[in-house]
Homo-oligomer: A and B are copies of this chain.
Amino acid sequence: MTGRTPDFAGWLAAARPALEEHLAGSLAAGSLAGAPPRLQEAVRRTLLSGGKRLRPALCLLACEAEGGGISRALPAASALECIHAYSLVHDDLPCMDDDALRRGQPTLHVLYGEAAAVLAGDALQALAFEILAAQQDAALARDQARLLAVAAGPRGMVGGQFLDMQAEGATADAALVRAIHEAKTGALLGAALQCGARAAGADPRRWEAFGASLGRLFQATDDLLDATRTSQELGKTADKDRGAGKATLVAVHGLDGARAAVRREAEAAGAALTVLAPRARYHELADLPRFLAERAR
Contact = CB atoms under 8 A, between A and B. Distances in A.
Contact of A159 (B36, B142, B149): B36
A114 interface: yes
A32 B166 contact: no
**What DSSP secondary structure best describes chain A's contact surface?**
helix
Contacts of A116: 162, 165
Nearest to A180: B36
Contacts of A90: 118-119, 122
Given A138-B141, A146-B130, A154-B43, A119 B31 contact: no
Number of this chain's copies in the assembly equals: 2
B129 A166 contact: no
A95 B89 CA distance: 15
Interface in A9-40: 30-36, 38-40
Interface string A108-128: 000001111011011101110
Nearest to A127: B153
Contacts of A148: 129
B125 A36 contact: no
Contacts of A43: 154
A139 B136 CA distance: 9
A127 B145 contact: no
Most buried by B among A95, A96, A115, A143: A115
A236 to B, nearest CB: 18
B145 A39 contact: no
Given A123-B154, A127-B153, A139-B138, A39 B162 contact: yes
A31 B150 contact: yes
Nearest to A130: B149
Given A154-B31, A156-B31, A158-B123, A118 B96 contact: yes
Interface size grouping (class) on chain A: 35 or more
A94 B125 CA distance: 21
A28 to B, nearest CB: 13
Given A96-B118, A116-B162, A145 B141 contact: yes
A163 interface: yes
Contact of A138 (B38, B121, B129, B142): B142
Nearest to A187: B31
A161 interface: yes
A241 to B, nearest CB: 16
20 contacts: A30-B150, A32-B155, A33-B155, A34-B159, A36-B159, A36-B166, A39-B158, A39-B162, A90-B118, A95-B118, A96-B118, A115-B165, A118-B118, A129-B149, A133-B145, A133-B146, A134-B146, A135-B142, A138-B141, A138-B143
Given A31-B154, A90-B122, 11 more contacts: A35-B159, A36-B163, A38-B162, A39-B162, A93-B115, A96-B118, A119-B165, A123-B158, A129-B129, A141-B145, A142-B142
